[in-house]
């Protein structure tokens, strides 16, 4: 693993009572949630994997990408119910979680299959298609996404995703009218489970078909042998799990130039992402010391 630790640039999310709230402040809160998820998973022999930008941070920074304002992890479909049971049994009282299985107001096509949140914090996400309707709160979170078996026939896979795409506009419309489309949500959960079970012997894995736009956004489908078994890597001085063939998957997802490059002249590793794109993208409002939106002084 490359030694890419370096001094972090300060990315400001908000200024409250004259004090800056930085991405690093948020990262430390998110990290406390991840520590708790890891503890519960280790206790119950459940494997997870950091994915996406969180996985890229493992290679490039041995932790968070400096401007990344969240953590995403995946859990295999076969472990999903055990994961929920483990959280119900062992999750510390400072945290709570939201998923369709424990709250029917949770949106089944909203990207993550679950959010594990921290009490006494608040975050409003930017650019979300569907708002969080769960009454339990809007705390700082870690996104949890099921990783599913995917049909090796691209036509059949797309056909199944099309079923969800047809249902999705009705869920979005009803949800934004504050009508809980419970039966449509149940259908999405049932259909996704059925699809995954049918192709359990497939060589491919990806996010579930209940997130139909992922294919549209060109997230690749991966070889199962590159994802599993999850392996431990250094992340912020801890040992968290991620993909089996980490660098291969990152290059497939983000492109061949996503990893830091060595500048021989200056004797240092350099970030390849353009400076204009190095900014947090998930946070619209934040309060790390309370359960509601921060009220600015009048």
Sign, Cα dihedral of 168, 49, 286, 277: negative
Residue with tokens 């504050």: 178
Query: Which DSSP state fits 113?
Result: S
Q: Which domains does the chain have, with CATH numbers?
A: 12-148+205-259+271-287 (3.30.460)
Element (DSSP H or E) covering residue 188: helix 182-198
* HEC letters along 38-68: HHHHHHCCCCEEECHHHHHHHHHHCCCCCCC
- Tell me the pLDDT of the chain (298 aa) as tens digits: 344 444 567 898 988 878 899 999 999 999 999 999 999 999 999 999 999 999 999 999 999 999 999 999 999 999 999 999 999 999 999 999 999 999 999 998 867 899 999 999 999 998 777 889 999 999 999 999 999 999 999 899 989 989 999 999 999 999 999 999 999 999 999 999 999 999 999 999 998 888 765 554 456 789 999 999 999 999 999 999 999 999 999 999 999 999 999 888 888 889 999 999 999 988 999 999 876 665 443 2
Taking phi first (over 0 means left), then psi (-120 to 50 degrees means alpha), and beta for anything else, what does residue 175 get? Answer: alpha
Convert the pLDDT of each residue in 23-73 to its tens digit.
Answer: 999 999 999 999 999 999 999 999 999 999 999 999 999 999 999 999 999
Distance separating alpha carbons of residues 187 and 112, to the nearest angstrom = 17
Query: Which DSSP state fits 79?
Result: G
């Amino acid at each position: 693993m490359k030694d890419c630790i370096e001094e972090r640039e300060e990315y400001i999310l908000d200024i409250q009572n004259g004090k800056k709230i930085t991405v690093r402040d948020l990262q430390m809160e998110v990290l406390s949630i991840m520590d708790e998820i890891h503890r519960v998973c280790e206790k119950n022999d459940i494997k997870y994997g950091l994915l996406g930008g969180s996985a890229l941070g493992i290679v490039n920074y041995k932790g968070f990408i400096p401007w990344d304002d969240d953590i995403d992890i995946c859990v295999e479909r076969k472990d999903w119910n055990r994961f929920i049971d483990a959280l119900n049994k062992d999750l510390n009282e400072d945290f709570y979680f939201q998923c369709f299985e424990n709250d029917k107001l949770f949106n089944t096509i909203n990207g993550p299959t679950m959010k594990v949140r921290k009490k006494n914090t608040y975050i409003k996400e930017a650019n979300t298609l569907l708002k969080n309707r769960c009454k339990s709160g809007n705390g700082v979170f870690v996104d949890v996404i099921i990783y599913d078996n995917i049909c090796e026939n691209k036509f059949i896979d797309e056909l199944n995703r099309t079923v969800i795409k047809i249902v999705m506009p009705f869920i979005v419309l009803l949800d934004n009218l504050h009508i809980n489309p419970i039966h449509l949500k149940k259908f999405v959960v049932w259909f996704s489970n059925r699809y995954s079970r049918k192709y359990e012997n497939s060589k491919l894995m990806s996010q579930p078909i209940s997130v139909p736009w992922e294919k549209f956004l060109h997230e690749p489908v991966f070889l199962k042998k590159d994802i599993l078994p999850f392996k431990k890597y250094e992340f912020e001085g801890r040992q968290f799990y991620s993909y089996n063939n980490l660098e291969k998957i990152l290059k497939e997802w983000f492109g061949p130039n996503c990893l830091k490059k060595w500048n021989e002249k200056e004797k240092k590793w350099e970030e390849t992402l353009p400076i204009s794109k190095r900014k947090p993208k998930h946070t619209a409002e934040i309060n790390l010391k309370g359960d509601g939106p921060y009220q600015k002084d009048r």
